Amino acid sequence: MIERKDLLGLLQPRREEIEEILDLGLKMKARLRAGDKSLDILRGKTVTTLFYENSTRTRCSFELAAKYLGAHVVNISAQSSSVQKGESLVDTGKTLDAMKNDFIVIRHPLAGAPKLLAETVKAHVVNAGDGMNEHPSQALLDFLTMKEHFGRIGGLKVAILGDIRHSRVAKSNLYGLKKLGAEVRMFAPATLMPIGLDRMGAKICASREEAADGADVIMGLRIQLERQKGGNFPSLGEYAKFYGADESLLRHAGKGAIVMHPGPVNRGVELSSELVDGDASRIEDQVLSGVAVRMAILTLLEGGTHA
């Protein structure tokens, strides 16, 4: 049973809660594949997406997930809202509560903003990415993709390559994968590897080949070009050569290894185009998993279990 009002990250939920979301997500994904997009689990409920940062995948898939469950959907972007007039996050939340809104899906540049909102409003709050902290629904869709492909997550070797320091995706993956029994390897330029993730259970690798050796999953992370003014690596070309993944790196991975990326991809930087479009790529499948797992998250937070 999911016994929480909000989904703020993957540090707090128990393994059983994560597994429940994945089990329902797999059922939702099967229904989507069968063309079934009209459930009425959230009929009469309202889901508001409140995005203070840009997004394609996350915002769009939460909107579609809510609509496929029969909910009303309102989309607010900070650029076109009263945030521009100086309204605080707490007051925005109280305003949505007063309108009898049931869910707020929030993306915010500051770590902790979803927690502050969740403590303020009656609505369920789902963290759609907060600063450098967490992106739990992205990690859950990654787990769904892995679970569907391999039939399990326990025992998988997952190599995460790239800008770990700025990546909320990497942190949520680490917290969840460790609970589910996977081995998590990480490799990044020293300037982009935070201290302490080994204490959270990550195996910090000295080369991309060490990370990829016998791995089941190679996961590239987006180089956040908007954060790279600080000269964390010499050039994109050098980054691609020493920290990116390509066909030659895939040969170090285990038989049947898959390639993943949260998107959007900088082709030729984190992953070669051959890998993005190749047979091992599950990047498009991750997008479908995203709609399915978000349907599961909304359903379970509301207290339902049916699919």
Chain residues binding ligand CP by CB under 6 A are: 55-58, 129, 138, 262-264
Closest distance to ligand CP from the beta carbon of 58 (Å) = 3
Q: Residue 148 and residue 214: Cα distance in Å, rounded?
A: 20
What element of type H or E holds 73? Answer: strand 72-77
Question: Which is nearer to ligand CP, 169 or 275 (by Cβ)?
Answer: 169
Question: Which is nearer to ligand CP, 205 or 265 (by Cβ)?
Answer: 265
Q: Give me the sheet containing 124-130, strands edge to edge.
A: 72-77, 46-51, 103-108, 124-130
**What one-character-per-residue DSSP string does 236-282 give?**
HHHHHHHHSB-HHHHTTSPTT-EEE--S---BTTTB-HHHHHSTTB-
Closest distance to ligand CP from the beta carbon of 138 (Å) = 5
Closest distance to ligand CP from the beta carbon of 60 (Å) = 8
* 27-66 b/e (C-beta count within 10 Å ≥ 16 → b): ebbebbeeeeeebebbeebbbbbbbbeebebbbebbbbbb
Question: Which is nearer to ligand CP, 128 or 215 (by Cβ)?
Answer: 128
Closest distance to ligand CP from the beta carbon of 220 (Å) = 12
Closest distance to ligand CP from the beta carbon of 196 (Å) = 24
Q: Residue 180 and residue 155: Cα distance in Å, rounded?
A: 9
Question: Which is nearer to ligand CP, 166 or 252 (by Cβ)?
Answer: 166
Residue 291 contacts by C-beta under 8 Å, 6 or more apart in sequence?
A: 28, 32, 61, 64, 65, 68
Q: Residue 62 and residue 293: Cα distance in Å, rounded?
A: 9
Closest distance to ligand CP from the beta carbon of 55 (Å) = 3
Question: Which is nearer to ligand CP, 58 or 133 (by Cβ)?
Answer: 58
Question: Which is nearer to ligand CP, 93 or 136 (by Cβ)?
Answer: 136
Say how far residue 197 (Cα) sits from the centre of its chain. 18
Residue 33 contacts by C-beta under 8 Å, 6 or more apart in sequence?
A: 288
Closest distance to ligand CP from the beta carbon of 288 (Å) = 14
Question: Which is nearer to ligand CP, 121 or 219 (by Cβ)?
Answer: 219
Phi and psi dihedrals of 258, rounded to 5?
-115, 160
